[in-house]
Structure 1
């Protein structure tokens, strides 16, 4: 039993990539003026780590995810995956957004297959679509259309569509933000399970402090815009975690204090 657990942990750590965000600053051009969004942000993420980003709405968290995904370059600083500079999008880094954005005219299987189809390798890699659907527990819905799915199921399809590309870094931009509270709790547990089984490195933006503490190894707290790191908090609790854990409750109180919301708790 111990040997099996160690073997699983070893493969888990090896699957993800390292991520280095080094003195990154960024700004938007609005009406001919620069609007600073990120201010000298440096984060090092180990392979297979799950890191959550918390901060005030509009502070720049999602912008940082866009830079990690390679969707745009930073104004200054650098980002590296396994030591290699991030200069644009790449299949090893995939983004899951708040909205599943499934094509309504395509069945679940065909939605998941999009990435492989775009790469021109679907004909020889069809088994990867089946494996991704199995991973998220939707094999029996392979022939369903998006309108036949619940919100949680649609988001699981979006996760499968990301995982089918065998990513090393999974970029999660509030992927559970539009779900009802009960579905969200269920999906949080499923997301932890997926992360543990795939070993991918995960970077999550969320506004839910409890969600961050339930999912992540580390929680990084940002200031208001332009975002600076105000705290980098290790969540040293084993999985599965329990919401009544006194240590998590204390961390929640600390984080709410950092966000200026301690008076509400």
Structure 2
């Protein structure tokens, strides 16, 4: 269920409804099939923020690529608003751990890439300025990537995604390479952007605390081939606090599910 705090503070949701039904997928490795995902079923409501947790290499990022339409699943189905996902679409935009900015292009031109590729830039230039304003980088529009901090570069990547006005934002560990203070600030920025824009968000992270701070719901996966081990709804309004006993208890539960029960 979409968190009431988001519904109360955001515009009406324009996010995609996502349905994953009995999905299985694997890779060919030296002539053998390596199963990665096994009979995964999941429904995500429009405007929901869902975080995926699981052991490294279990298939979380593979699932994101399937949702983005960058790969096709071996079996099962994926639909967005009831339509089969058969390839990439501007309504479903993916943000990776590495900002992957072109070093020879200024910030404004990096953000404009999506519109330029669609042949829309001449008539929609204002969207680039709006996207930069959303992430607080208007003053750096003429800067080059080498002149940015890690957090600023990741905000450029977010702006590049937001300029397409996505209805589903797919986040593959976008804060994983940031220092701890920048990461905390960016976590709040992700929440603020999601609340303001009303899109659906799907996040892969290895940080249990991060998942609990930003998401409505947390999905815990097993080892590869990944199956859903648990689903936890986070019944807390935003902003959330790391020392909230409710969140501390959920963190312990999740670490236990991941086989790290003594790590807290």
Q: TM-score, normalised by structure 1?
A: 0.96
Deviations for 1:155-179, whole angstroms, at most 9, x for unmatched residues? Answer: 0000000000010100000000000
Aligned to 1:17: 16
Q: Give the deviation of 1:264 after TM superposition.
A: 1.6
**Residue pair 1:95, 1:170 contacting (<8 A) in 2 also:** yes
**Residue pair 2:108, 2:128 contacting (<8 A) in 1 also:** yes
List alignment gaps of at least 5 residues for structure 1: none
- Separation (CA, whole Å) in 2 of partners of 1:212 and 1:8: 19
| Residue aligned with 2:122, SS | coil
Aligned to 2:168: 169
Q: TM-score, normalised by structure 2?
A: 0.96
Aligned to 2:246: 247
**Residue pair 2:40, 2:227 contacting (<8 A) in 1 also:** yes
- Separation (CA, whole Å) in 2 of partners of 1:19 and 1:183: 30
Change (3 A) 1:136 1:10: closer
Aligned to 2:209: 210
Q: Give the deviation of 1:15 after TM superposition.
A: 1.4
Aligned to 1:38: 37
Deviations for 1:40-80, whole angstroms, at most 9, x for unmatched residues? Answer: 00010000000000000000000000000000111000000
Q: Give the deviation of 1:9 after TM superposition.
A: 3.9
Aligned to 2:111: 112
- Separation (CA, whole Å) in 2 of partners of 1:114 and 1:203: 22
Say how many residue pairs are matched.
Answer: 261
Runs of 4+ off more than 2 Å: 5-14
Aligned to 2:221: 222
| Residue aligned with 2:104, SS | coil
Aligned runs of 1:1-265 on 2, under 5 Å?
9=8, 12-265=11-264
RMSD (Å) for aligned C-alpha atoms: 1.5
Change (3 A) 1:12 1:43: farther
Q: Give the deviation of 1:14 after TM superposition.
A: 2.4
Change (3 A) 1:7 1:46: closer
**Residue pair 2:219, 2:232 contacting (<8 A) in 1 also:** yes
